[in-house]
Amino acid sequence: MENKSITNESYTILDGKVHIFQRVGSPYWWAGVHHKGKYIRTSTKKKDKGGAEAIAQQWFFNIHSKILSGEISSPKHKFETVSKSAIKHYQGLVDRNIRSPKTLDGINVVLKARVLPYFKNHSVQEVDNTLWQRFKDEMYEQFPQISRGSLHQYKNAIRVVLNEAYRLGYLKTLPVFKDEYGSRKNDNARPWFSPSEYLKLHTAIRNHAKKLQKIDKRQYQHALELYDYVLFSTNTGMRVGEIKNCKVSDVRIVTEKITGKEILIISNIKGKRGGGNCQSFYGAVQPFKNILQRRNITEYTKCNEPLFLIHHRIMFNKILENTNLKYTNTEPKVKRDFVSLRATYICFRLLNDAPIYEVANNCRTSVSMIQEHYAKRLGGELMRNINKIKETEGWDY
């Protein structure tokens, strides 16, 4: 292999800032500078010293400008290095209940599995839309069936690192990633259960529990907990992760002053949007009492056990399939899962004339999200007064 080392024929210009040298086997003069442990060099493409020095001076001023602007970074600006700082900062947000630990776990997995192997040796200044497009192309080559949702997760993980670089002052502006897709993203309403479908669902779970009562006591207890989970979720609107993090002591039974009926107040909610609390609909009280009775919990305000002991995803999906409720009747069909229970709560509240702002606030989401994915899709079902007319108009249809 040819030796490309610097020969003895070398000298400096600009008060020693720029090295001019020749490499063995090359007729051209090269220029090089040191910057924070890195040696940056380029070929002048010139064989004579005079021409090489002129090119080297212009190249040095360009390099110096890029260093000042941050385009050329130091080793501490490497994507991998900044990612460690980003995770540490995000962990602090989780500890203060500003962000969800589940979201942090997801970012960690995505970074280690796909993002870091590609970006780790790049500086954060090099990460722009062009590099993002190249990364996407490589993902499509390796995983032809990769979904848009997966790419969105990768992009979010990259943004967490770049936001940290911005916070530390390594970036002056954040890059904008532009994506083009062959088809429009499916923006249908979140899949929910209509009143008749909801009745069919919890009737099926109750019947399933009865079948298990004499066959398998352990599975019977699981079915009862699943039944309570469905009722609790569709009467609180809590996210799956929020319910998973909920403890028995986070729930209080209170009497509503206006109606005199019992409701639940759930505090210390930890999930996608950090901390918060919510007020349940009346139907959440009974499943909570069922849990206390089934587990012999007397002082529930002091009980730090999880509200639900097991995540019964498999049993729930099996019941959905057996009752033909796994997919919606819309076109295109949309798959239902535990998330559909939260969507059912939101739709039920809207159909019962609850103000959108109050629904959004109770569900720890935005009004625009409710309008875009629920209210707009329910359409005429929400417009109860659309055909209301004044008697003097004299319409007769």
Please check whether residues 231 and 309 belong to one and the same domain: yes
To the nearest whole percent, how much of the chain has pLDDT over 90?
44
List the beta bridge partners of residue 18.
13
Please check whether residues 199 and 322 belong to one and the same domain: yes
Instruction: Report which secondary-structure segment, H or E, holds 315.
Output: helix 313-322
Please check whether residues 114 and 50 belong to one and the same domain: no
- Residue 295, domain member (yes or no): yes
Tokens linked to 69: 């602007």
pLDDT band per the 50, 70, 90 thresholds, residue 4: very low
Please check whether residues 95 and 60 belong to one and the same domain: no
pLDDT confidence of residue 6 = 45
pLDDT confidence of residue 123 = 84
pLDDT per position as a tens digit, 32-72: 887 666 777 888 888 888 888 888 888 888 877 766 655 55
Q: What is the CATH number of the domain that holds 210?
A: 1.10.443.10
pLDDT confidence of residue 31 = 86
Tokens linked to 58: 């212009």
Q: What is the 3-state secondary structure (H, E, C) of 346-395?
A: HHHHHHCCCCHHHHHHHCCCCHHHHHHHHHHHHHHHCCCCCCCCCHHHCC
- pLDDT of residue 186 exceeding 80: no
270 φψ region: left (φ > 0), alpha (ψ -120 to 50), beta (else)? beta
Q: Which of 167, 185, 206 is the last residue of a domain?
A: 167
Please check whether residues 292 and 155 belong to one and the same domain: no
Please check whether residues 10 and 63 belong to one and the same domain: yes
Look at residues 278, 283, 287 and name the one whose alpha carbon lies nearest to residue 235.
283
Mean pLDDT of the chain: 84
Tokens linked to 57: 């001076």
Tokens linked to 353: 């004339």
Please check whether residues 30 and 152 belong to one and the same domain: no
Q: Which of 55, 72, 89 is the last residue of a domain?
A: 72
Cα–Cα distance, 363 to 64 (Å, whole number): 52
pLDDT confidence of residue 74 = 54
What mean pLDDT comes out for the span 328-338?
87
How much is the pTM? 0.62
- Residue 175, domain member (yes or no): no
- pLDDT of residue 180 exceeding 70: no
- Residue 389, domain member (yes or no): no
What mean pLDDT comes out for the span 298-312?
93
Cα–Cα distance, 13 to 304 (Å, whole number): 72
pLDDT per position as a tens digit, 145-169: 888 888 999 999 999 999 999 998 8
Please check whether residues 280 and 334 belong to one and the same domain: yes
Asked if 253 contacts 288 with a C-beta cutoff of 8 angstroms, the reply is yes
Look at residues 284, 293, 167, 272 and name the one whose alpha carbon lies nearest to residue 235.
284
Return the DSSP state at 340. Answer: H
Please check whether residues 262 and 328 belong to one and the same domain: yes
- Residue 1, domain member (yes or no): no
- The whole domain housing 119 covers 76-167
pLDDT confidence of residue 274 = 66
Please check whether residues 24 and 160 belong to one and the same domain: no
Burial class (CB in 10 A: 0-12, 13-18, 19+), 170: buried
pLDDT per position as a tens digit, 80-116: 999 999 999 999 988 887 888 888 899 999 999 999 9
Cα 163 to chain centroid, rounded = 15
pLDDT per position as a tens digit, 190-212: 788 999 999 999 899 999 999 99
Give the chain's domain count: 3
Rounded to 10 degrees, the C-alpha dihedral 373/374/375/376 comes to 40
- Residue 318, domain member (yes or no): yes
Please check whether residues 148 and 17 belong to one and the same domain: no
- Residue 28, domain member (yes or no): yes
Q: Which of 72, 90, 119 is the last residue of a domain?
A: 72
- Residue 396, domain member (yes or no): no
H helices then E strands: how many in the chain?
A: 15, 7
pLDDT confidence of residue 322 = 94
Please check whether residues 372 and 313 belong to one and the same domain: yes
- Residues whose CB falls within 8 Å of the CB of residue 253, separated by 6 or more in sequence, listed in order: 262, 263, 264, 285, 288, 289
Q: What is the CATH number of the domain that holds 155?
A: 1.10.150.130
- pLDDT of residue 342 exceeding 70: yes
pLDDT confidence of residue 381 = 55
